[in-house]
């Protein structure tokens, strides 16, 4: 059974990409986060496409910033929206959805962002994680569990492109990481790190500043399985291909294969990031600075070319085949780290 989780960052904006991805990857169970649709709107957009592909669908959303979904070709039973005794901000938000698929209790989770350590949203995040722990603890008494989604927590500094860049920010605080450990201490295993303990693995890259082609990311989308599923894992990887191009989500899907791996034991990121190359150096054209003519640049202007992106804009000193996958805010893309 192939299970995938993906923060889609607007299911409506990614509709065509999502359907293409389903046909390419052929997952049996898909957990989506940040659908940003009401239940009725999600079904109106996707019901026919998913039905024709053999999926049953559950969605929990109110049409605003959140929204989670599960669709499955391995059964979809005992659907449960929200967390028992879960907190609100101020009302409960559509951030958790559970269903039993192929005998496994699967959760699609969109953990609150926290915003800033002195923001009420941060306290809400920690309270929400405590409620999640209680719900998962109860579920573990009856069935194997997969808890997956956008946790908005980097488990360790190894899951950050530059730990210093996150000093004092959410996603990396001791309290958030402790809450995550309290969840895994129930008997959940971070299967990505179990399979790839020493590899650099990211699942999220900001739209801005060419973060994706420079591979300046975070691993905050997690697949946690109960320990009685670990021996069934055959492959686990991040589908970087889904992050390439324009109009993408800022997250990539995370995928686990249980019992068999149709594509082999691939990973940890597919395709892997291109290694950075230093920008080429060019010999100064004859004539010295300040002179114009063929091959020269007038004072105060920058000629578009290999080292520039137009007047006054300097390209980064990192080039790779991923450079075409622009890191600027793409069509249909919105930066929603505050949610």
Q: How confident is the model at residue 286 (pLDDT cuts 50, 70, 90)?
A: very low
Average pLDDT over residues 226-255: 97
Q: Is residue 203 within 8 Å of 254, Cβ to Cβ?
A: yes
Cis peptide leading into residue 271 (ω within 30°)? yes
Q: What percent of the chain has pLDDT over 90?
A: 80
Separation of alpha carbons 172 and 160, rounded Å: 9
Q: Is residue 170 within 8 Å of 152, Cβ to Cβ?
A: yes
305: pLDDT strictly greater than 70: no
Task: Write out the two tokens for 166.
Answer: 């996150």
232: pLDDT strictly greater than 90: yes
56: pLDDT strictly greater than 70: yes
Separation of alpha carbons 89 and 122, rounded Å: 11
User: Tens digit of pLDDT for each residue in 115-143?
Assistant: 999 999 999 999 999 999 999 999 999 99
User: Tens digit of pLDDT for each residue in 196-228?
Assistant: 999 999 999 999 999 999 999 999 999 999 999
Most confident of 97-111, 269-283, 311-325: 97-111
Separation of alpha carbons 252 and 221, rounded Å: 8
Name the pTM for this structure. Answer: 0.84
Q: What is the DSSP annotation of 227-285? A: GGGGGGEEEEEEEGGGG-SSS--SB--EEEEES--TT-S--SEESPPPPPEEPPP-PPP
Average pLDDT over residues 298-310: 27
Separation of alpha carbons 81 and 79, rounded Å: 7
E strand or H helix that includes residue 223: strand 221-226
Compute the residue count for the chain.
339
Residues 6 or more apart whose Cβ sits within 8 Å of residue 107? 31, 96, 97, 98, 136, 139, 145, 146, 147, 148, 149
Averaged pLDDT score across all residues of the chain? 86
Q: How confident is the model at residue 260 (pLDDT cuts 50, 70, 90)?
A: very high
Please tell me the predicted confidence (pLDDT) of residue 274: 87
CA-to-CA dists, residue 77 to 47, 97, 106, 266, angstroms: 17, 12, 10, 30
Q: How confident is the model at residue 278 (pLDDT cuts 50, 70, 90)?
A: low
């Amino acid at each position: 059974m192939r299970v995938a989780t993906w923060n889609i960052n607007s299911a409506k904006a990614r509709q065509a990409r999502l359907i293409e991805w389903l046909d390419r990857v052929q997952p049996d169970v898909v957990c989506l986060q940040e659908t940003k649709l009401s239940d009725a709107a999600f079904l109106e957009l996707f019901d026919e496409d998913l039905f024709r592909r053999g999926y049953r669908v559950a969605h929990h959303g109110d049409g605003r910033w959140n929204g989670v979904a599960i669709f499955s070709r391995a059964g979809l039973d005992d659907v449960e929206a929200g967390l028992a005794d879960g907190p609100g901000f101020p009302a409960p938000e559509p951030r958790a959805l559970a269903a039993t698929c192929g005998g496994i209790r699967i959760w699609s989770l969109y953990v609150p962002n926290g915003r800033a350590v002195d923001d009420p949203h941060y306290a809400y995040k920690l309270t929400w994680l405590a409620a999640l722990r209680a719900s998962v603890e109860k579920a573990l008494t009856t069935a194997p569990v997969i808890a997956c989604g956008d946790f908005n927590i980097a488990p360790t500094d190894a899951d950050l492109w530059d730990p210093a860049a996150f000093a004092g920010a959410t996603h990396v605080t001791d309290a958030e990481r402790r809450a995550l450990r309290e969840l895994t201490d129930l008997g959940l295993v971070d299967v990505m790190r179990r399979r790839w303990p020493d590899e650099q693995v990211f699942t999220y890259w900001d739209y801005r500043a060419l973060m994706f082609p420079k591979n300046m990311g975070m691993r905050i989308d997690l697949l946690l399985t109960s320990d009685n599923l670990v021996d069934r894992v055959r492959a686990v990887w991040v589908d970087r291909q889904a992050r390439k191009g324009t109009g993408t989500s800022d997250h990539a899907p995370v995928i686990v294969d249980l019992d068999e791996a149709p594509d082999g034991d691939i990973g940890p990121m597919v395709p892997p990031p291109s290694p950075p190359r230093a920008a080429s150096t060019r010999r100064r054209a004859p004539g010295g600075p300040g002179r114009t003519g063929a091959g020269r640049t007038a004072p105060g202007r920058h000629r578009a070319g290999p080292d520039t992106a137009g007047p006054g804009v300097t390209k980064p000193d990192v080039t790779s085949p991923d450079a075409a996958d622009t890191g600027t805010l793409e069509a249909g893309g919105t930066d929603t780290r505050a949610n």
